[in-house]
């Protein structure tokens, strides 16, 4: 039986922009995808939505729209050109209460956030028994179960990067010859056929910020035979 506890978090103030949420959780911010280079920037200020709505039509683009409700992003978003917005923020931003264009986005403090791929708790249990027969042969059944606690795919944490706790169970039974010259083993891995996520990472803005997700292998079973020469 094994149990571990890990408290791995950012100890001090560290400010970075989140590539998954360049708006930094600000409901007044507008997340911009630059149509000229695929980069991100964020327009901030109380009048940010009105400002982008005023500038974009001259570029042939629509104003800001909201993200899906289940995406966990409080800001709105729009396609635009960050350099044009920066120039217009200087020229007419005061009319909208003061506008900033931040690249690549609004910085947030990571203090207290959990480090990626660092679950707080892990536990495992293995049970094995050896049955000996008069012939000298042995039969060894074994069962293992492991639990991995909650973790995050990157240091920004948040619901979209959360990896839920998961359990994996394996079993096997092995028959050994009297002189240990051969064995026959039957096994099954991932008994419950769980497809739980075990890890993820996010690509950068230039490749679309898509997530690479890793899952448990599907249930596998089989027989193995071994001979010692």
Please list the rounded mean pLDDT of every run of 10 residues in the chain (229 residues): 96 92 93 91 96 96 90 91 96 95 94 95 98 95 97 88 94 95 96 93 75 92 94
What SS3 class is residue 59?
A: helix
Q: Which helix (H) or strand (E) holds 198?
A: strand 197-202
pLDDT at 46: 94
Peptide bond into 104 cis (omega under 30): yes
pLDDT at 211: 82
- Taking the CA atoms of residue 38, residue 73, residue 12 and residue 123 in that order, the dihedral angle to the nearest 10 degrees is -110
Q: Which helix (H) or strand (E) holds 187?
A: strand 182-189
The answer to whether 122 touches 147, Cβ cutoff 8 Å, is yes
pLDDT at 11: 93
The backbone torsions φ and ψ at residue 64, rounded to the nearest 5 degrees and listed phi first, read: -65, 150
Task: Enter the tokens of residue 80.
Answer: 């635009």
pLDDT at 210: 81
- Taking the CA atoms of residue 78, residue 79, residue 82 and residue 88 in that order, the dihedral angle to the nearest 10 degrees is -70
């Amino acid at each position: 039986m094994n149990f571990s506890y890990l408290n791995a978090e950012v100890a001090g103030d560290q400010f970075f922009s989140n590539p998954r949420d360049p708006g930094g959780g600000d409901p007044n911010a507008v997340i911009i995808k630059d149509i000229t280079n695929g980069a991100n920037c964020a327009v901030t200020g109380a009048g940010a939505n009105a400002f982008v709505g005023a500038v974009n039509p001259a570029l042939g683009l629509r104003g800001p729209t909201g993200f899906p409700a289940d995406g966990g992003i409080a800001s709105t978003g729009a396609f635009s050109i960050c350099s044009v917005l920066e120039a217009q923020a200087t020229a007419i931003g005061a009319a909208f209460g003061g506008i900033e264009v931040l690249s690549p986005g609004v910085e947030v403090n990571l203090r207290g956030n959990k480090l990626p791929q660092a679950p707080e708790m892990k536990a495992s249990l293995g049970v094995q028994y050896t049955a000996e027969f008069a012939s000298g042969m042995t039969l060894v059944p074994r069962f293992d179960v492991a639990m991995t606690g909650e973790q995050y795919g990157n240091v920004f944490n948040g619901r979209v990067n959360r990896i839920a706790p998961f359990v994996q169970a394996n079993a096997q039974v092995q028959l050994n010859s009297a002189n240990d010259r051969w064995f026959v083993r039957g096994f099954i891995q991932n008994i419950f056929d769980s497809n739980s996520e075990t890890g993820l990472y996010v690509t950068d803005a230039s490749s679309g910020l898509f997530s690479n997700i890793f899952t448990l292998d599907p249930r596998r079973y089989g027989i193995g035979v071994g001979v010692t020469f």
